[in-house]
Amino acid sequence: MRARDVELIVTGDEESAAKRVAEILAESARGGDEIALTGGSTPGRAYELAAELEPDWSAAGVWWGDERCVPPDDERSNFGLARDTLFAKLEAQPGRVHRIRGEDDPAAAAALYERELRGTTLDLVLLGLGPDGHVASLFPNAPELAETERLALPAEPKLEPFVERVTLTPPPLRSGRRIVFLVAGEQKAEAVAAALAGPPDPAVPGSVIRAESGETLAVLDQNAASRLRD
Ligand code: 6PG
């Protein structure tokens, strides 16, 4: 299957995929971009390397594509992941940190985050991809995928960790100037093929997220890319 509206970068292993994404993050931070980070187990290494490449993030604004509804010091927190792997290693902290308040009521946290984001275009949207094809906390066939007005909504998890989420909806993700998927591992190969090469299908949320007027890039290790052609 050939990728649809996505530029692919396929690297030898997960470490080199993380390094490539770290370069993108570092350049973006240096340029003072509005950057949406992602959670999960894959991006931590890219965050560490990005801090080494660019230890001064004072020009950058940092956002999140989604958050687990837990306090910021909980080990499942996406903010906590960035704090420990990125912020803790910087010499100068990001000028603007727009945390989703996972410790609050999810509807209230989503409404507050939406108010903060409205009027801002994300320059860089980093996304992972779940084995079920989810991105941010937009899970297969979830009602949030059809949202056209709201920028952030509460969402029910369909995979571990089973805590409620707050997620960006498709409009702010699609209006990102640059969307970058970072995906590694053989267990993601089917999801990668469906999300990047299959037709747009709400059963595979990654397949409906492309930059409307910017560019969409996928940085994959060769295991994750193994079901793609070219
Ligand atoms: C989250 C995410 C989510 C993640 C994927 C991939 O909070 O869980 O933002 O969308 O990116 O689930 O996660 P892994 O890297 O752990 O596979």
C-beta of 130 in contact with ligand 1 (< 6 A): yes
Q: Do 138 and 167 meet the contact criterion of CB atoms below 8 Å apart?
A: yes
Any idea what the CATH number is for the domain that residue 60 is in?
A: 3.40.50.1360
C-beta of 58 in contact with ligand 1 (< 6 A): no
Residue 129 is assigned to a structural domain of this protein: yes
Residue 83 is assigned to a structural domain of this protein: yes
Residue 229 is assigned to a structural domain of this protein: no
Residues 87-123 have pLDDT tens digits of 999 999 999 999 999 999 999 999 999 999 999 999 9
Residue 67 is assigned to a structural domain of this protein: yes
Residue 53 is assigned to a structural domain of this protein: yes
Count: domains in the chain: 1
Residues 187-216 have pLDDT tens digits of 999 999 999 999 999 999 999 999 999 999
Look up the pTM and report it: 0.98
42 Cα nearest atom in ligand 1? 15
Residue 228 is assigned to a structural domain of this protein: no
Which residue range forms the structural domain that includes residue 34? 2-221
C-beta of 114 in contact with ligand 1 (< 6 A): no
Residue 227 is assigned to a structural domain of this protein: no
Distance from the alpha carbon of residue 220 to the mean position of ligand 1, in angstroms: 15
SS (H, E, C) 34-90: EEEECCCCCCHHHHHHHHHHCCECCCCEEEECEEECCCCCCCCCHHHHHHHHCHHHC
